[in-house]
């Protein structure tokens, strides 16, 4: 369970990516496009297989600045996925999305995402993190539902 929570935080961090193609004048665009439900997919950029697998399925950004990342928590006795969600608050301004949550171990977690591209139907973001002393980059793709 703790391993799932760690990966959940890593993935949440992916959701907080700023945008290289956007500048501070695009604040209105980000705030207009971001609210809603987004399907989650990702690719880990690494020469070697880091052995990571994220169980995230969906991200919801609400207009009030709250957000939730839905993930598969476990499988039930019949082999069906049991979903859970990580909740937090986000701020989208300029080329950055910042998510803050304190659900894991009671510690405040801050995740910053760099947005590579943003349209009304898709957001592509980059997230860099370190795991076991190795630096990794994950490309997250969110498709509007």
Please state the φ and ψ torsions of residue 24, each to the nearest 5 degrees.
-60, -20
The answer on pLDDT for 16 being more than 50 is no
Residue 2 sits at φ, ψ, to 5 deg, of: -65, -35
- The whole model's pTM is what? 0.74
- 60 and 70 Cβ atoms separated by less than 8 Å: yes
Indicate whether 15 pLDDT > 50.
no
CA–CA distances in Å: residue 55 to residues 5, 21, 41, 49, 81:
10, 28, 10, 17, 10
CA–chain centroid gap for 34, Å, is 12
Residue 134 pairs in a beta bridge with 131
Fold of the domain built from segment(s) 2-144: Lipocalin (2.40.128)
Q: How does residue 36 score in pLDDT terms, banded at 50, 70 and 90?
A: very high
Average of per-residue pLDDT across 75-87? 93
* Band of pLDDT at residue 79, cut at 50, 70 and 90: very high
């Amino acid at each position: 369970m703790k391993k799932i929570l760690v990966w959940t935080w890593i993935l949440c961090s992916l959701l907080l990516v700023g945008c290289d193609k956007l500048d501070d004048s695009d604040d209105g665009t980000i705030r207009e496009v971001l609210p809603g439900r987004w399907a989650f997919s990702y690719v880990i950029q690494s020469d070697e297989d880091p052995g990571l697998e994220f169980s995230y399925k969906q991200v919801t950004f609400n207009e009030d600045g709250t957000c939730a990342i839905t993930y598969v928590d476990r499988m039930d006795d019949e082999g069906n996925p049991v979903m859970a969600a990580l909740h937090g608050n986000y701020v989208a301004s300029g080329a950055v999305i910042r998510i803050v949550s304190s659900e894991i171990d009671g510690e405040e977690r801050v995740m910053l995402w760099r947005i590579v591209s943003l349209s009304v139907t898709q957001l592509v973001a980059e997230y860099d993190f370190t795991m076991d002393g190795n630096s990794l980059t994950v490309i997250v793709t969110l498709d509007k539902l």
